[in-house]
Amino acid sequence: MDIHADIPLKNFTTFKLGGPAKAFAEIHSAQDVVQAYQYAKANQLPFFVLGGGSNVIAHDEGYTGLIMHMRIAGFEVVADDSFSTTIKIGAGEAWDSVVQRAIQMRLAGIEAMSGIPGTAGAAPVQNVGAYGQEIADTLQSVDAYDTQTETFVTLTSEQCGFSYRNSIFRSSDMGRYIIISISLRLSKSAPQPPFYDSLQKYFDDHKITIYTLEIVRNAVLDIRTSKLPDPKILPNAGSFFKNAIVEDWQLTDIRAQYPNLPLFDMGDGHFKVPTGWLIEQAGFKGKLLHGIRVNDKNSLVLINEAATGYGDLAAARDEIIGAVRDTFRIQIEQEPLEIS
């Protein structure tokens, strides 16, 4: 394993912002993880594990520590029965390739997460999800290097502390575990309705009444393509804001003014409100702010059209958050992690 110096982070993040990393290592094995961590420890450097760079934001000054660029491969069946198959996947595998391979094996549970950029190891960090599915639904365990005990450990799904777009890996134990692989238990049953509202609408509009894994995947990819810009063409970090989670009492005044407020009942008196809708109602759809364009097809997405640095992004973000708060009294949150 080689340690490189002054590698520009803008070349490894889909938002195309960020200065140089002081140290940078490609991680291809569990042993590389140990060596990289020991290097950081010996040199008193912080570290950051970087996957596909699609859900992170880097700063202009770069990073004063060690970037571990996760490249660990692997895809193997570790358990199988009449109803399900469990697959262990290397943390560096491209997530959409994992979904595609699972579908080719006729395994269900992650097909609605087709097209999500990034790596398999990053999926549990923010409990990625789309169109009614999330990684917590199928994840059985995570293999990781525990930097606190300097040992390899296996964490169960329950130990990951999953909640909406969150886990211990980006909250209480952020920076403690370096994920090596994940194990998913996938179903051998065909997908069945009811589907997520926007996915069902697609089926209805296209008069689709037979549902296979391939049909669901193709529908999701079609929907995503129509709403989300390709980061290879238009630099972006995907959904820049989390969908808002509000309590029932917060909705009374909003519903009075916006009777068509879209909601998803999450139970226990909590509702998910599409943040893209909030941003659009606040007047930002398609707007250019400080070189950052609010996507005109999905206002959750911010595009780096002409930003000169992180300061431009921060100014645009804060302006949007402030306007939504003033309009709806709802505090929305940034989704991508920041390398700092």
φ, ψ dihedrals at 256, nearest 5°: -65, -35
Q: What is the pLDDT of residue 90?
A: 98
β 84-90/75-80 pair status? antiparallel
**pLDDT 10s digit of each residue in the chain, 340 long?**
899 999 999 999 999 999 999 999 999 999 999 999 999 999 999 999 999 999 999 999 999 999 999 999 999 999 999 999 999 999 999 999 999 999 999 999 999 999 999 999 999 999 999 999 999 999 999 999 999 999 999 999 999 999 999 999 999 999 999 999 999 999 999 999 999 999 999 999 999 999 999 999 999 999 999 999 999 999 999 999 999 999 999 988 898 989 999 998 988 999 999 999 999 999 999 999 999 999 999 999 999 999 999 999 999 999 999 999 999 999 999 999 999 8
Q: Up-side HSE of residue 28: CA atoms within 13 Å toward CB?
A: 3
Residues 160, 256: one domain?
Answer: no
Q: Which token pair is 3?
A: 């340690």
Is residue 51 a part of any domain in this protein?
yes
Is residue 302 a part of any domain in this protein?
yes
Residues 91, 139: one domain?
Answer: yes
The catalytic position among 93, 111, 134, 335 is: 335
Task: For 109-174, give the secondary structure using H, E and C.
Answer: CCHHHCCCCCEHHHCCCCCCEECCEEHHHCEEEEEEEECCCCEEEEEECHHHCCECCECHHHCCCC
CATH number at residue 137: 3.30.465.10
Q: What is the pLDDT of residue 252?
A: 86
Domain that holds residue 221: 197-227
User: Catalytic site residue 76?
Assistant: no
Cα–Cα distance, 134 to 165 (Å, whole number): 9
**145 DSSP β-pair partners:** 152, 178
Helix extents (H) in the chain: 30-42, 95-104, 197-205, 213-227, 251-257, 275-281, 310-328
User: Catalytic site residue 54?
Assistant: no
CATH number at residue 45: 3.30.43.10
The catalytic position among 71, 165, 185, 217 is: 165
Q: Up-side HSE of residue 142: CA atoms within 13 Å toward CB?
A: 27
Cα–Cα distance, 324 to 261 (Å, whole number): 14
Residues 34, 59: one domain?
Answer: yes
Q: What is the pLDDT of residue 1?
A: 87
Residues 176, 142: one domain?
Answer: yes
Is residue 60 a part of any domain in this protein?
yes
User: Catalytic site residue 106?
Assistant: no
Is residue 109 a part of any domain in this protein?
yes
Contact indicator for 102, 182 with CB cutoff of 8 Å: no
- Count: domains in the chain: 4
> Which DSSP category does 195 fall into?
P
> Which DSSP category does 305 fall into?
S
Contact indicator for 181, 121 with CB cutoff of 8 Å: yes
Residues 122, 155: one domain?
Answer: yes
Cα–Cα distance, 235 to 326 (Å, whole number): 29
The catalytic position among 114, 141, 157, 239 is: 239
In 3D, which of 95, 88, 59 has the Cα closest to residue 74?
88
